[in-house]
Structure 1
Amino acid sequence: MLIGNDVGIQLREQDLSWREFLSSANHHPRSNNYIPVYQPVESVINILFSSGTTGEPKAIPWTQLSPIRSAADAWAHNDVQVGDVFCWPTNLGWVMGPCVLFLCFLCGATLALYHGSPLGHGFGKFVQDAGVTILGTVPSIVKAWKSTECIKGLDWTRIKSFGSTGEASNIDDDLWLSSKSYYNPIIELCGGTELASAYIQGCPLQPRAFGTFSTASMATGFVILDENGIPYRDQACVGEVGLFPLYMGASERLLNADHDEVYFKGMPMYKGMHLRRHGDIIKRTVGGYFIVQSRADDTMNIGGIKTSSIEIERVCDRADECILETAAISVAPVDGGPEQLAIFVVLKKGSSIEPDKLKILFSRTIQSNLNPLFKVNYVKIVSEFPRTASNKLLRRVLRDQMKHELSTRSKI
């Protein structure tokens, strides 16, 4: 990133600073006539980064199929059509940013853009005044609206449906949100940057239950795998999802990793198909609904945005001189809802600091360096971290410890 005239990192031979990039443009006057340029369907139109299933950031090229897939999902599952006013708090660095742009253009809806935080009264009034008919949300944002009462007194009754993604939804929060618009539906969706879409969604034509998904998205297939990689039949179960490999709009290559190794290596065959890895743990309920429970690795959904433990730990390690190392995990609240961020800390020998002070330091550091919406919910100081024989950190053990501690607190 260019800060003034100073590039904060050592550029590689093939890199340009932002200023050099802009100065290299050929500033010819534009013609009044638009002339399309025809390209193959696999032509790259933009590149997005995702933590994905391995916990390491991946550079994912989107092709001309990606916008078509985004629009198809919106049309089939959210009933986006000409005359709708569509609004979804997001940014272009997250998968929903380009998805929202493309789906509005291709479905003929009006895109409502708000400059500022979606957490206050100003955004709620904008939704009212713009006549938004489809409002996208992230569960953390809904929780903030409910707790601060910032939309009290506003008229959201023009909203015909809500969308929700990024985290596990809280049923009570969903009921509260739906009540703001005559109890209209909340369509859940869960996907990935590498899919340019959601692989599992709700649907206006099917019965719905708050916080659940009702079906695989249009033209998508998946199975739920047990711990041995064997697909469950249509029964109540919990396991890792395996996607069918034919998936319109999904990535076929990565710019900084081996695509086959990331998404296919080690995945089982199913009816002659080599299943694609996504990394979600899914529960199929007795009633046939689906609940996405967690990730199969250390990638976390914090504030509706996928991030890796490593990214958070890198900034937290530098938050104070007394810190030796940190470990970041996410845990779901005992009563359900979005994942919450917990930081385990090992202090340097002879150092002392209160967990509450660290909590403030970590939140400020993460918000400044990663995302202003991220929040640290718990900080726990420990003497050492559990590790494997090869010295790999066992975040799974820390996660289980925190779950047990939260469960014990809730019973007191």
Structure 2
Amino acid sequence: MSQSPVWFPSEEYKKSTRMYKWMEKLGFEDYDSFFLQSIDDIAWFWEEAVKELDIKWNKPYQKTLDLSNGLKYPKWFMNGKMNIVHNAVEKWAADSKMRSQDAIVWEGDNGEVKKYTFASLSQEIDSIAAGLSAKGIQPGDIVTLYMPMIPETVIAMFAIAKIGAIFSPAFSGYGAEAVATRINAAGAKVLITADGFYRRGKVISMKEEADRAVSLSPSIEQVIVVRRTGAEVPWNQDKDVEWSELKTKTAAIRTKETDTDTPLMVIYTSGTTGKPKGAVHTHSGFPIKAAFDAGLCMDVCKGDTLFWVTDMGWMMGPFLVFGGLVNGASIVLFEGTPDFPEPDRIWDLVETHHVTHLGISPTLIRSLMRHGTEWIEKHDLSSLKVIGSTGEPWNPEPWMWLFENVCKKNVPIINYSGGTEISGGILGNVLLKPISPITFNSPIPGMDVHVYDSEQNSVLNEVGELVILQPWVGMTNGFWKENERYEQTYWSRWGDTWVHGDWVIQDSEGFWTITGRSDDILNVAGKRLGPAELESALVEHPMVIEAAAIGIPDSVKGETAVCFAVINSSSYDSALLKQELLQLIGKHLGKALLPKEIYFVDELPKTRNGKVMRRVIRAAYLNQNAGDITSLENPAILEAIKNMNLTK
């Protein structure tokens, strides 16, 4: 599946990047040598990284890394004290050159804009932190955030962290049961929510869902409500508190000096079966990894503007906050949807707010492709320095569409893949090497990544398990109250080896390709097949917007493929189209790997951040338990998929 490179950095461009300047400072001119050193001596690497990111310590750490508890539970920056609020906001607010720079630029669904400088953001955080403290929130308490993408969401995160409490963000589109599941797993004491938000010009209520969640969550003592829409909402005088009541004009509250392993955030990620997993992230973990990946790998600099299309309940929401602000960049928060009221909304945001770094998902680009390129041409996108992409594997056609029409073959696309438990990326595209469509040109520095076959041998040019052999800053500090589950999930297969659950290929040219989740992989008559290989063949057809491939049991082959395709037309000859698609797959993969069936569907089940949930498709098709589906934006489609198999 590897493609030839299409983007090549000039020597002048390379030398302008933060990564190159940092390497040069450390005595390296060659990236590959630098990368090898980054995994040969990880303690040295992360010590140099926190220096380069200018992380300020209340009490200097005595040792960078302690592995006395084993690889599963590394201790970073031993005996140091710091608070990430100071490093992300307060130090910039105290800097005469930075205090008046925009920290947050927010745009609502209706086009309303609000801005906070580092100075004004720091003041808001102080005020809310004092209010939370006055309401009895103590260090170590967990506060669940069930909030839309509004400035108060970020202010709440920092105010909670400032007093040494822990925030736990939940996706704004969840229903009550999904929110309650996360509240109860965390044992949260307080819920912060909003009366509602706007989406596609309509008011989406939240308070009613929040109340239902609270009725299922006995640990919640108070519900703090931000007035976003002004709609009338139910009110419980015993529990509900107006956000405006928190604001206090008393003297600024002191920022808590936290230990470097003090939890900052518990963020839940869906499990394949059963309840969600609570990744535990510390003040010196997630924010530093996010800031490193954004600053040194994506070249986010002071004065830049980072905008990722995401929700705070997904990992890329906190990544946006810390990746931008720790580096002294502005961040854009967007309440609305990228194609409302017109298909050019996202390009309008880039132009209006001079976005330098735009983060998207392949699904978003596939959905915009159908509208053509004229919507792009209306806008000046010259501010763009980098486009980041995460959430799922690419297909070549949409990647090239983005590169040619938005990037004008000049702006690099940083394919970026990691996870909630990683605090950022495992694989990426560094700006010192050529970039090819859909692939990654390097592991992220500091990540000791390999591809293993079933016998634990490193393999080249063939699909294998993505594994990590050494710890990194940002690695989840276990699962919240479930360390046995954490060890079973990542460490049970090969001892001291993190098995991530992705199938990848590393080719002899040094490019990496993710072919899917290892629990999505197909094994057709002994031939391992990543779903992306089938899906890329399908979306090559001009009528196919997107596709998903799953494996189902087969009495002859052991397993065979079934595909689902979303079509860009309401009128088509189903039999003829199916025949054309089978010919395409045969051309790319051979007749032995033809799917047993191709179904045409209105949409694919996916999360709000654009991940197609193949395991859920497979479970629905086979009428099995789909496990945790609370992150799905469109669960209704599952019934249609189930019926397809039942009515064959």
TM-score (norm 2): 0.46
Greater helix share, 1 or 2?
2
Among 487, 505, 509, the residue aligned to 1:283: 505
Q: Counterpart of 1:250 in 2: which secondary structure?
A: coil
Distance in 2 between the 1:28 and 1:87 partners?
A: 28
The aligned counterpart of 1:243 is 468
Q: Counterpart of 2:416 in 1: which secondary structure?
A: strand
Distance in 1 between the 2:618 and 2:328 partners?
A: 53
The aligned counterpart of 2:303 is 83
Distance in 1 between the 2:458 and 2:331 partners?
A: 41
Distance in 2 between the 1:78 and 1:224 partners?
A: 24
Deviation at 1:55, TM superposition (A): 7.3
Distance in 1 between the 2:611 and 2:447 partners?
A: 32
Q: Mind listing any 5+ residue stretches in structure 1 that lack a counterpart?
A: 269-273, 300-328, 345-355, 394-401, 403-412
Pairing of 1:62-73 with structure 2 (within 5 A): 62-64=281-283, 65-73=285-293
Distance in 2 between the 1:361 and 1:334 partners?
A: 17
Distance in 1 between the 2:415 and 2:468 partners?
A: 18
The answer to whether 1:255 aligns with 2:255 is: no
Among 109, 126, 142, the residue aligned to 2:349: 126
The answer to whether 1:158 aligns with 2:378 is: no
The answer to whether 1:139 aligns with 2:362 is: yes
The aligned counterpart of 2:280 is 61
The answer to whether 1:264 aligns with 2:491 is: yes
Which 10-residue stretch deviates more, 40-49 or 168-177? 168-177
Distance in 2 between the 1:372 and 1:38 partners?
A: 34
The aligned counterpart of 2:261 is 42
Distance in 1 between the 2:433 and 2:308 partners?
A: 23
Contact 1:333 1:339 in 2 (8 A): yes
Structure of larger gyration radius: 2
Distance in 1 between the 2:208 and 2:511 partners?
A: 49
The answer to whether 1:232 aligns with 2:458 is: yes
Distance 1:157 1:98, change over 3 A: same
The aligned counterpart of 1:293 is 515
The aligned counterpart of 1:14 is 219
The aligned counterpart of 2:162 is none
Deviation at 1:385, TM superposition (A): 3.9
Contact 1:331 1:341 in 2 (8 A): no
Distance in 1 between the 2:513 and 2:533 partners?
A: 16
Contact 2:396 2:536 in 1 (8 A): no
Distance in 2 between the 1:282 and 1:63 partners?
A: 29
The aligned counterpart of 2:91 is none
Distance in 2 between the 1:155 and 1:130 partners?
A: 11
Q: Counterpart of 1:333 in 2: which secondary structure?
A: helix
Distance in 1 between the 2:613 and 2:480 partners?
A: 32
Deviation at 1:122, TM superposition (A): 2.1
The letter of the residue matching 1:147 is: R
CA displacement, residues 10-30 of structure 1 (integer Å, 9 cap, x when unaligned):
635434574666549995834
Q: Counterpart of 2:418 in 1: which secondary structure?
A: strand
Q: Counterpart of 1:75 in 2: which secondary structure?
A: helix
The aligned counterpart of 1:189 is 416
The letter of the residue matching 1:251 is: T
Distance in 2 between the 1:376 and 1:279 partners?
A: 14
Aligned residues: 340
CA displacement, residues 148-189 of structure 1 (integer Å, 9 cap, x when unaligned):
134342221221111111111122322222232332110111
Distance 1:222 1:7, change over 3 A: same
Distance in 2 between the 1:5 and 1:105 partners?
A: 29
CA displacement, residues 317-353 of structure 1 (integer Å, 9 cap, x when unaligned):
xxxxxxxxxxxx9995142779745799xxxxxxxxx
Deviation at 1:286, TM superposition (A): 3.1
Distance in 2 between the 1:84 and 1:215 partners?
A: 24
Contact 2:535 2:548 in 1 (8 A): no
The letter of the residue matching 1:85 is: T
Contact 2:311 2:609 in 1 (8 A): no
Distance 1:56 1:381, change over 3 A: closer
Deviation at 1:199, TM superposition (A): 0.8
Distance in 1 between the 2:470 and 2:618 partners?
A: 44
Q: Counterpart of 2:321 in 1: which secondary structure?
A: helix
Contact 1:343 1:376 in 2 (8 A): no
Among 111, 135, 144, the residue aligned to 2:331: 111
Distance in 1 between the 2:376 and 2:263 partners?
A: 41
Distance in 1 between the 2:601 and 2:274 partners?
A: 24
Among 387, 393, 406, the residue aligned to 1:168: 393
Distance 1:173 1:392, change over 3 A: closer
Q: Counterpart of 1:261 in 2: which secondary structure?
A: helix
CA displacement, residues 16-59 of structure 1 (integer Å, 9 cap, x when unaligned):
57466654999583434352210111111122111257675211
Q: Counterpart of 1:128 in 2: which secondary structure?
A: helix
The aligned counterpart of 1:212 is 439
The answer to whether 1:31 aligns with 2:239 is: no
Deviation at 1:84, TM superposition (A): 1.2
Distance 1:283 1:128, change over 3 A: same
Distance in 1 between the 2:618 and 2:246 partners?
A: 57
Distance 1:13 1:331, change over 3 A: farther
Distance in 1 between the 2:499 and 2:546 partners?
A: 22
Deviation at 1:130, TM superposition (A): 1.3
Distance in 2 between the 1:339 and 1:256 partners?
A: 39
CA displacement, residues 356-378 of structure 1 (integer Å, 9 cap, x when unaligned):
9xx999969x68xx64968899x
Distance in 2 between the 1:30 and 1:263 partners?
A: 47
Deviation at 1:284, TM superposition (A): 1.0
Contact 1:53 1:279 in 2 (8 A): no
The letter of the residue matching 1:265 is: S
Contact 1:223 1:231 in 2 (8 A): no
Distance 1:53 1:239, change over 3 A: farther
Distance in 2 between the 1:204 and 1:374 partners?
A: 26
Distance in 2 between the 1:361 and 1:336 partners?
A: 14
Which 10-residue stretch deviates more, 9-18 or 90-99? 9-18
